[in-house]
Structure 1
Amino acid sequence: MSSDRAVVLRRAADSDAGPAAEVWLRSFAAALPSVVRPRSDDDVRDYFRDVVVPLRETWVAETDGAVVGVMVLDGEHLSQLYLAPDWRGRGLGDRFVVLAKERSPRELTLWTFQVNEPAHRFYERHGFVAVERTDGSGNEEREPDVRYVWRP
């Protein structure tokens, strides 16, 4: 496996949609095994190809030609941050959050599931504050979630 220094963060190209979707699928399965996904793997791949990469500010982490992380910004909303499971805990998420704060220096918001305690710790370590909790009726998964906000 490459050293973290060999990882480049860059804007996603159309050709990154498939590899980014695969990172999302593997990461979601590893981090959120109890959360029922309402969409099939192929639906996720189509969504990355047709919506995420062409229409959102999508960034990938790449090493040795392989995509190992994906971050999606939608204005001041950090809508997605997923790492390949074997890249968790190696500083890559930290680099993505620094980049997100540079891209949205006044405020960032995000949602994460209540069951995702590691994400809570990660975002709180980066200065995000939980401002709202829901019963999940507003998301596709119907999973209770938490809205976090970061302001400098």
Structure 2
Amino acid sequence: MTAVGTSPPVLLRRATAADARAAADVWLRSFAAALPTVVRPRTDEEVRDHFRHVVVPRCETWVAQAAGGEVVGVMVLEETELAQLYLAPDRRGCGIGDRFVALAKERRPAGLSLWTFRVNTPARRFYERHGFRAVEWTDGARNEEREPDVRYVWEP
């Protein structure tokens, strides 16, 4: 477990089965706030089922837990990919994302890659600030949302 230096304190910890719904709900709120023009191919319940049956049990999933127990962030690592990093909209800019990226680099010291949508300019700036560089741009034909995206890599 890693304490995050925000106020009030936030704890980063491995997700358990009991966190799946809360993690999915953070994902849903964050996606809606950050990507209002991107069409989701899954319903809210399908997203929750995916977190419950796939993401939490099969992937290295971490949550940010605020004082009082509320899950306010989720990060998912799949092999060398930073597959997901989402924060509750009211927790952006509080340092939680920075801590998640530091943790991801600690967990994958040989390097990481990730995908983000081209329209997500704040995320692109965030990853670039953390040393990721864009290496591939697509028209979105290979993602579920059919949204143009960009692949980033971080190499130590």
TM over 0.5: yes
Structure 1 distance, partners of 2:7, 2:114, is 25
Helix, strand or coil at the partner of 1:86: helix
Q: CA deviation at 1:6?
A: 1.2
The correspondence of residues 2-13 of structure 1 with structure 2, limited to 5 A, is 3-4=6-7, 6-13=9-16
Q: What is the aligned partner in structure 2 of residue 132 from structure 1?
A: 136
Aligned to 2:18: 15
Q: Contact between 1:114 and 1:145, CA under 8 Å: does it hold in 2?
A: yes
| Structure 2 counterpart of 1:81 | 85
CA distance, structure 2, for counterparts of residue 102 and residue 11 of structure 1: 14
Alpha-carbon distance in structure 2 between the residues aligned to 1:65 and 1:103: 24
The amino acid of 2:43's aligned partner reads S
Q: Is the 8 A contact 1:4 1:91 kept in 2?
A: no
Give, in angstroms, the shift of residue 5 of structure 1.
Answer: 5.5
- Asked if 1:98 is matched to 2:109, the reply is no
- State how far apart, in whole Å, the 2-side matches of 1:4 and 1:75 are: 32
| Equivalence for 1:147 | 151
State the alpha-carbon separation in 1 of the partners of residues 50 and 98 from structure 2. 26
Give the CA deviation at 1:119.
Answer: 0.4
Give the counterpart letter for 1:53 in structure 2.
Answer: V
Provide structure 2 residue ranges, at least 5 long, that are not aligned to the other structure: 1-5
Q: For 1:35, what is the secondary structure of its paired residue?
A: coil
> Distance in 2 between the 1:6 and 1:117 partners?
28
Partner of 2:3: none
For 1:120 and 1:38, the matched residues in 2 are separated by 22
CA distance, structure 1, for counterparts of residue 63 and residue 46 of structure 2: 20
The sequence identity of aligned pairs, in percent, is 71
Mapped contact 1:23–1:82 kept (Cα < 8 A): yes
After TM superposition, the runs of 4+ consecutive aligned structure 1 residues lying more than 3 A away are none
Look up the SS of the partner of 2:86 in the other structure: strand
Gaps (5+ residues) in structure 1?
none
TM-score of the two chains, using structure 2 as the length reference: 0.95
Q: Secondary structure at the match of 1:4?
A: coil
Q: What are the equivalent positions in structure 2 for 1:26-105 lying under 5 Å apart? A: 26-63=29-66, 64-105=68-109
How many residue pairs match? The answer is 150
CA deviations on 1:61-93 (whole Å, 9 max, x unpaired) are 001200000000001100000000000011000
1:103-134: CA deviations, max 9, x gaps? 00011000000000000100000000000000
Question: Pairwise CA RMSD of aligned residues?
Answer: 0.7
Q: Secondary structure at the match of 1:138?
A: coil
